Structure 1
Amino acid sequence: MSALIQPTPRAQAFFDAPHRLLIGGEWVEGRAEPIAVENPSRNEHLTTVDAASDEDVDRAVAAARVALNGPWGRMSGRERAGILFRFADLLDANAEEIAEAMAYDNGQSLAACTGIVRVLACEIIRYYAGWATKIAGDSFLPSLGGARANTQFMVSTLREPIGVVAAIVPWNAPAGMMGLKLGPALATGCTVVLKTAELAPLTGEFFGRFFLEAGGPPGVLNILHGLGHETGAAMARHPGVDKISFTGSPVAGRSIVQAAAGNLKKVTLELGGKSPIIVFPDADLDALVPATALACFVASGQACMAATRLFAHADIYDELVQRVADHADALTIGDSLEPGIFLGPLISARQRARVEDYIRTGIAEGARVANRNGFVPWEGAGNFVRPIVFADATADMRIAQEEIFGPVLTAIRFDDEAAMLRDVNSTTYGLSGSVWTNDITRALRVARQVDSGQVGINVHAAVSPETPFGGNRESGWGREFGEEGLLPYLKTKAISINLGPRD
């Protein structure tokens, strides 16, 4: 490890320990080629994790099926809720240990990682634990015609777990994404085979450990490490899997859909985004400048909901863009364990090179870098990219159409609302967005015309456990969070009862 930043003894002991697979309640060795894990802040080797072979995937799916048909399947909602509440409490109590490992693993700041564990993962699991006792069907008297006109029926519906779930999570917020997959799946009575992100796999071990400690039966939660095109693909095509829940890129999402066609397993996809911030002249610029920087540069821009397109009205465009660029220049950049940093590194050298290529593309397309010092590539260790604000851009540029997944904001001037909305909706994505104005009539009018799964008014990406989240078009299928996030893990069975002749 670097002399600049040293792990705590507890974290170092964790990194030095073997990193196995959790299958059927046991930590076992993987049978595929191990995966090296790097600390992206320093470009240093962190540890190595076992990886799952196709045979390991078979074993994990079989263990999940046994658990589904065994003790877990016979548990009441109250019993499942108790385990999930204890699970969340254990994660919460150990949040600092989990966050330190995650900060080294994926490069986000320690403060951000702690918040992801406590505010996102724990609260989501608690929210869905509350739902475990409230999953119910319905009953009604149907209208039946024809030969059965004189017979009375009653229909009773049951909401049952969909079965074995394959959950595949990304590297940018692994603890939060695991909570988002596991909360609804386990609350409904499903069992799970979860694949960690190959670039940031370590957080999954804590989830497996604490679920067992909370009383989760063996096989209910299985944790696999592995490469997406190997382990992930094996899970997606596996005939023993009933549903896939995936968060990642549209390219990988398409591959999963194709693989899932084998047994027509159900699929939920949360994919990419190119979210807009739309600003009118009456917006509060003092509040908007830091809000825009946070919305775009959070997690160094490595967030699907990041606000990467700024549509600013011509009356305030120049002032707003320069103020945002100056604010970006003042943001602190550094090692994920340094106190007070805002931007950590990108996840890998490959991702850093990709983002820098997009920045050069934007310059070549004619956009102007509004940062005072222009584009200055990072020198030294770490996969860092300084935040960039592009001015004088147009909506058809690649930097305004394609998901960069880095700290790059593209500012587009507008003076016609209808034309602006056409540009806003011109990408293949439709995940998030926000409208900033003090005119509520205008705010609601514009928000309704933004084609995305959620839109904020004077706030961007206000995520909460109760609020549905998901995208339109190539941003995904289905919704997560809230009651809508519970439904994809349930199937409905209708039971028709013959009550005999009508009176």
Structure 2
Amino acid sequence: VTVSVLYWVLDSSAAEMVDCCSFTFLLCLGVAYLVQRYGIPLAQGVAGSVMRWHERVNAPVISVDKPRLDFTEIPAEKEPLNPRSSGKPDEIQCFTKGTYRRMGTVKAMNKAEVKAAIDKARVAQEKWAKSSFAERRRLLFALMEFVLKEHETICKTSAIECGKTMLDGTLGEILTTLEKLSWTCHYGEAALQEEVREVGLVSFHKRASVSYLPLGVVSAIVSWNYPFHNIIGPMISALFAGNAFVGKVSEWSCYYASWYQEIVRDGLRRLGYSPDLVTFVTGFAEAGEAIVELSDKVTFIGSPQVGKLVMRKASETLTPVVLELGGKDPAVVCDDADLKQLIPVVMRGTFQNCGQNCVGLERVVAHKGIHDTLVERLRPLVAGLSQGPACEGDTKDCGAMTMGAAAIEKIDKLVQDAVKRGAKCLVGGKRQSATSPFYPPTMLVDVTVDMEIAQEEVFGPILVIFKAKDDDDAARIVNTCPYGLGASVFSADPKRAHALGRKLRTGMLNVNDFGINYLCQSLPFGGVKISGFDRFAGIEGLRGNCLVRSETQDRIPGVKTEVPPAMQYPVTANSFKFSMLLCRVLYAPITGMIGAIVGLITFKK
């Protein structure tokens, strides 16, 4: 209207006025669409960010005493220690990894004690299930601030108890935990909102939806390689979904479990919730069996052998389980790969935490055209890696093997078997002594799929290199392995990399990268074959902590489901004919539909 008046005042022609009005109308329509399409989500995003900021600054401040971190005055044992070295069945011997210093003992909980913890958790969960997402975020933000503040302390606990370096602690304990906390705070609520689903013609009068409700007590039995993140990670998802959490830590890394537990419980107390909502269990097999028997859902992270035992126990009560059973991740290096970018990734993927990673890079499958150059560049880097007791502050590239002599014996056996079968050991490959907790960084080439080291998870600092003829041969080498957790493909051609990746039988794939998918917390984590099944992390993992419930309700006032007279009891001779006509009306093509409609109109009960 304003434009029309202006044109009239300026004595413009009618045609010009119509053209300008039409243009202005379309412009306004376009602006309105952009505001509706992008402006509202943008406004919601800004509002959400402001709300999250408000929740974060108003989160409680967690305050707990620091744990003991110095054990150097305790004499180092000459013989290797293990969790049963205390000699008492109800105690777990804890010791520094890399120096064998006795740190003290931890209670090995029995079934009755685990049951008591789960019973208390169920009571506490009743109130927590009614909490708002905003309240749950306040707890997670409090944990995030604590992790940032106590970054160094947490890394030291992991270095002492696992033998990893402080840098490995940052990457595996801190960065991963912070990213999971951040993603859950910013996107978790959206993932758990009720979803309205489409309905068909037969149920057009209904509103169909899916709700994600708390399960009750969700548990996890986790491995020892990342003692902080492995227990905190599944707890984050369980709590945000409204559940209680009872998790069992490994007997190989349980000394600081009570401190980790107190961090969470302090946050719960400050928010007015029972600390019984979260318990970190310490114990042996009896404690793990009790958790599987008494929980509403269990995530297990460990070996395929123990995973089978967990499944067997879970079958007695039909407890749902998520199994993450390790991997033997390959990196396929195509002949056009960027070696400058690739080599640091391969080194980090192989030797991070001394190779003790479920997504550790255990196989490098290099095309024959690039194989020799790759080996030539990697060899001096592997030879230059330093190793020592990171648990006492040494700045080294690699730390100790957490399980000590037992793990080293297995690793050395695999290396020696490969050499006997024709592989060449270019670096390392010799254990220091029968009691040493260290295995040197090792590099093997000319490895073939018939060797044990090509089929079994090593979980150690071994760089294993295969030579492939072409893409199909590389896929064959990868797929002969019984594990199928993750994989990487390196190529300058994205289409080629994706095409090759499609041939690999794994649960996860990274193109021109390794392991980055775990830092994309919107993605599910898990594998196939003996690497396990189901997923944790991401939207799917968060929803896996829920009772996924389908719901329907009337959506049109006054319109309800009524059973047609011809389909009511008692049935008649024509009831079946009526049902046939009804199906054709709903699902037949137009010609059949018209005939069926006529049939229904003329139908006689």
Same fold (TM over 0.5): yes
Residue 441 of structure 2 corresponds to 387
Residue 345 of structure 1 corresponds to 400
Distance 1:280 1:42, change over 3 A: same
SS at match of 1:370: strand
> In the alignment, which of 207, 213, 218 is matched to residue 154 of structure 1?
207
Residue 318 of structure 1 corresponds to 372
* 1:372-392 residue CA offsets vs partner (Å, 9 max, x unmatched): xx5332249741001111111
Alignment of 1:276 with 2:336, yes or no, is no
TM-superposed deviation, 1:154: 3.3
Residue 501 of structure 1 corresponds to 559
Distance in 2 between residues matched to 1:193 and 1:429, nearest whole Å: 29
Distance in 2 between residues matched to 1:259 and 1:159, nearest whole Å: 27
Residue 74 of structure 1 corresponds to 130
RMSD, aligned α-carbons: 2.5
Q: Which amino acid aligns with 1:61?
A: I
Structure 1 gaps of 5+ residues are 1-7, 17-30
Tell me if structure 1 keeps the 8 A contact 2:497–2:511.
yes
Distance 1:32 1:9, change over 3 A: closer
Q: Give the alignment of 1:279-428 within 5 angstroms.
A: 279-336=333-390, 337-347=392-402, 348-371=404-427, 375-379=429-433, 382-428=436-482
* 1:199-236 residue CA offsets vs partner (Å, 9 max, x unmatched): 01134223211112212522211111011x22112211
Distance in 1 between residues matched to 2:198 and 2:393, nearest whole Å: 64
Residue 63 of structure 1 corresponds to 120
Residue 261 of structure 1 corresponds to 315
Residue 106 of structure 2 corresponds to 49
> In the alignment, which of 210, 235, 249 is matched to residue 196 of structure 1?
249
SS at match of 2:92: strand
Distance in 2 between residues matched to 1:230 and 1:391, nearest whole Å: 43
* 1:14-68 residue CA offsets vs partner (Å, 9 max, x unmatched): 999xxxxxxxxxxxxxx96110012121122222111111111110111111112
Tell me if structure 1 keeps the 8 A contact 2:221–2:288.
yes
SS at match of 2:501: helix
Distance in 2 between residues matched to 1:353 and 1:428, nearest whole Å: 22
TM-superposed deviation, 1:261: 1.1
TM-superposed deviation, 1:13: 8.8
> In the alignment, which of 96, 103, 116 is matched to residue 39 of structure 1?
96
> In the alignment, which of 228, 234, 244 is matched to residue 175 of structure 1?
228
SS at match of 1:316: helix
Distance in 1 between residues matched to 2:397 and 2:288, nearest whole Å: 32
Which structure has greater strand proportion?
1
Residue 429 of structure 1 corresponds to 483
Q: Give the alignment of 1:79-228 within 5 angstroms.
A: 79-134=135-190, 135-139=192-196, 142-143=199-200, 145=202, 152-215=205-268, 216-227=273-284
SS at match of 1:485: helix
Alignment of 1:466 with 2:519, yes or no, is no
TM-superposed deviation, 1:181: 0.6
Higher relative contact order (CA 8 A, sep 6+): 1
Tell me if structure 2 keeps the 8 A contact 1:184–1:489.
yes
Distance in 1 between residues matched to 2:343 and 2:72, nearest whole Å: 40
TM-superposed deviation, 1:360: 1.4
SS at match of 1:244: strand
SS at match of 1:262: helix
Distance in 1 between residues matched to 2:315 and 2:72, nearest whole Å: 39
The worse-fitting range, judged by mean Cα deviation, of 183-192 and 359-368 is: 359-368
Q: Which amino acid aligns with 1:78?
A: A
Residue 592 of structure 2 corresponds to none
Tell me if structure 1 keeps the 8 A contact 2:67–2:256.
no
* 1:77-127 residue CA offsets vs partner (Å, 9 max, x unmatched): 211111121122223222222221221101001222234333111331232
Distance 1:328 1:338, change over 3 A: farther
Tell me if structure 1 keeps the 8 A contact 2:106–2:282.
yes
The worse-fitting range, judged by mean Cα deviation, of 458-467 and 187-196 is: 458-467
Tell me if structure 2 keeps the 8 A contact 1:38–1:45.
yes
Residue 44 of structure 2 corresponds to none
Residue 3 of structure 1 corresponds to none
Distance in 2 between residues matched to 1:256 and 1:41, nearest whole Å: 30
Distance in 2 between residues matched to 1:395 and 1:140, nearest whole Å: 47
Tell me if structure 1 keeps the 8 A contact 2:196–2:210.
yes
Tell me if structure 2 keeps the 8 A contact 1:91–1:207.
no
Which structure has greater helix proportion?
2
Distance in 1 between residues matched to 2:263 and 2:458, nearest whole Å: 35
Distance in 2 between residues matched to 1:58 and 1:301, nearest whole Å: 36
TM-superposed deviation, 1:143: 4.6
Distance 1:190 1:126, change over 3 A: same
SS at match of 1:410: strand
Distance in 1 between residues matched to 2:279 and 2:413, nearest whole Å: 38
Q: Which amino acid aligns with 2:422?
A: G
Q: Which amino acid aligns with 2:224?
A: W
TM-superposed deviation, 1:172: 0.6
Distance 1:203 1:477, change over 3 A: farther
SS at match of 2:279: strand
SS at match of 1:214: helix
Distance in 1 between residues matched to 2:257 and 2:72, nearest whole Å: 13
SS at match of 1:501: coil
Distance in 2 between residues matched to 1:357 and 1:327, nearest whole Å: 24
SS at match of 2:464: strand
Distance in 1 between residues matched to 2:551 and 2:334, nearest whole Å: 55
* 1:262-308 residue CA offsets vs partner (Å, 9 max, x unmatched): 22111111111111111122222233333212111111111111111
Q: Which amino acid aligns with 1:351?
A: A
Tell me if structure 1 keeps the 8 A contact 2:297–2:321.
yes
SS at match of 2:321: strand
The worse-fitting range, judged by mean Cα deviation, of 312-321 and 266-275 is: 312-321
Distance 1:490 1:333, change over 3 A: same
TM-superposed deviation, 1:413: 0.9
> In the alignment, which of 507, 514, 538 is matched to residue 482 of structure 1?
538
Distance 1:318 1:496, change over 3 A: closer
- TM-score by structure 1 length? 0.88
TM-superposed deviation, 1:251: 1.0
Distance in 1 between residues matched to 2:124 and 2:230, nearest whole Å: 23
Q: Give the alignment of 1:227-242 within 5 angstroms.
A: 227=284, 229-236=285-292, 238=293, 240-242=294-296
TM-superposed deviation, 1:160: 0.2
The worse-fitting range, judged by mean Cα deviation, of 293-302 and 489-498 is: 489-498
Residue 575 of structure 2 corresponds to none
Distance in 1 between residues matched to 2:69 and 2:247, nearest whole Å: 23
Distance in 2 between residues matched to 1:35 and 1:218, nearest whole Å: 24
> In the alignment, which of 472, 491, 506 is matched to residue 452 of structure 1?
506
Tell me if structure 2 keeps the 8 A contact 1:274–1:309.
yes
Tell me if structure 2 keeps the 8 A contact 1:325–1:388.
no
Tell me if structure 2 keeps the 8 A contact 1:168–1:194.
yes
Distance 1:118 1:453, change over 3 A: same
Distance in 2 between residues matched to 1:164 and 1:203, nearest whole Å: 23
Distance in 1 between residues matched to 2:187 and 2:334, nearest whole Å: 40
